[in-house]
């Protein structure tokens, strides 16, 4: 398992990014066509991928018990295993819908899982990467909920519920109640009101990054932050089927 934040892109290779598949929403069956499309995309990109970044909310709800994980998503997990086993590094950033990961991706798939944003260097380009939830100003209700969701005691309590009940509650909170989602499916608020733009601009005052790449907004966005820094939002695999590609020089947002 590669856990270096320094990735070399060989000639002709690329780094791919995708986020917000929300597999399982509204049901496993209903999201199956989206899952198949995603697996076909993985199959296409594996030929020239130097690395793959999956940036959260792959699952609409995911919770790992000590010996149990939720049913479903077999095609995705199988494809990720195949690609990872072939030696292509995959990096996973948890989203607000699947932050309850606890070793399964590492052990089963050889995929490192990050719970916080990280800066990576691709050749000479610095890229700040994260799911994007709970960053910047606003979304106070979600930030309050996130404290509960990430609290070890509440996680421990939840774990003791029978998984058939626990996962049902999780799915309910995710699909119907929107308690887990927060503001993540809002419309474009304008550059001055996009809280991830505000977050990036604040970060830039401390340290330069060439690119900031996030998911979570479900909106494909490319916003120039200053002359040398750009914020990219990856969109989603529900409405847009967008993904990011970095070839060592240029970052492009494409549609599958
Ligand atoms: Mn999200």
pLDDT tens string 43-91: 999 999 999 999 999 999 999 999 999 999 999 999 999 999 999 999 9
Per-residue HEC secondary structure of 46-76 comes to CCCEEEEEECCCCECCCECCCCCCCCCCHHH
Give residue 83's pLDDT. Answer: 98
The arithmetic mean of pLDDT across residues 203-207, rounded, is 96
Ligand 1 centroid – CA 216 distance (Å): 4
Based on its alpha-carbon atoms, the radius of gyration of the chain, rounded to whole angstroms, reads: 17
Mean pLDDT of the chain: 93
Distance 126 CA to ligand 1 centre (A): 23
How many other β-carbons are positioned within 10 Å of the β-carbon of residue 162? 9
Pure H helices in the chain:
32-45, 74-85, 104, 140-149, 152-159, 163-175, 195-206
N- to C-terminal Cα distance for the chain? 28
Other C-beta atoms lying within 10 Å of the C-beta of residue 11: 6
Ligand 1 centroid vs 12 CA: distance in angstroms?
31
pLDDT value at 1 more than 90: no
The pLDDT value recorded for residue 142 is 86
Looking at residue 184, its pLDDT comes to 52
Kindly report, residue by residue over 121-140, the tens digit of the pLDDT: 999 999 999 999 999 887 78
Please give the average per-residue pLDDT across 90-119, as a whole number.
Answer: 97
In this prediction, residue 179 carries a pLDDT of: 67
Identify the pLDDT of residue 192: 79
Give pLDDT, residue 177: 67
Helix (H, G, I), strand (E, B) or coil at 87: coil
Exposure pattern of 83-113 as b/e (b: 16+ CB <10 Å)?
bbeeebbbbbbbbbbbbbbbebbeeebbbbb
Of the ranges 68-82, 139-153, 224-238, which one carries the lowest mean pLDDT score? 139-153
Q: How far is the CA of 214 from the centre of ligand 1 (A)?
A: 10
| Cα 188-218-158 angle, rounded to 5 deg | 125
> Is the pLDDT at 2 greater than 70, yes or no?
no
Is 47 exposed, middle or buried (CB count within 10 Å of its CB: 0-12, 13-18, 19+)? exposed
**CA 10 to ligand 1 center in whole angstroms:** 31
In angstroms, what is the span from residue 131 Cα to ligand 1's centroid?
Answer: 7
Reported pTM: 0.95
Distance 120 CA to ligand 1 centre (A): 21
Domains and CATH numbers, the chain: 13-255 (3.60.21.10)
Q: How far is residue 245's CA from residue 34's CA, in Å, rounded to a whole number? A: 20
């Amino acid at each position: 398992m590669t856990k270096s934040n320094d990735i070399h892109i060989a000639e002709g290779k690329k780094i791919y990014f995708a986020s917000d598949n929300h597999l399982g929403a509204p049901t496993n069956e209903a999201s199956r066509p989206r899952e198949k499309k995603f697996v076909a995309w993985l199959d296409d990109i594996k030929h020239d991928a130097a690395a793959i970044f999956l940036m959260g909310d792959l699952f609409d709800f995911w919770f790992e018990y000590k010996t149990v994980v939720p049913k479903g998503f077999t095609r995705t997990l199988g494809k990720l295993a195949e690609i990872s086993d072939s030696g292509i590094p995959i990096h996973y950033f948890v989203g607000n819908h699947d932050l309850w990961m606890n070793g399964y991706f590492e052990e089963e798939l050889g995929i490192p899982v990050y719970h916080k944003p990280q800066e990576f260097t691709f050749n000479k380009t610095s890229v700040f990467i994260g799911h994007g939830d709970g960053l910047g100003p606003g979304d106070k209700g979600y930030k309050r909920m996130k404290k509960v969701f990430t609290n070890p005691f509440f996680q421990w309590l939840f774990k003791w519920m029978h998984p058939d009940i626990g996962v049902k509650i999780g799915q309910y909170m995710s699909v119907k109640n929107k308690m887990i989602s927060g503001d993540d499916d809002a419309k474009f608020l304008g550059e001055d009101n996009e809280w991830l733009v505000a977050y990036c601009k604040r970060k830039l005052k401390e340290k330069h990054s060439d690119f900031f790449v996030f998911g979570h907004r479900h909106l494909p966005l490319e916003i120039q932050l200053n002359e040398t820094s750009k914020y990219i939002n990856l969109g989603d695999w529900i409405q847009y089927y967008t993904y990011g590609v970095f070839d060592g020089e240029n970052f492009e947002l494409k549609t599958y």
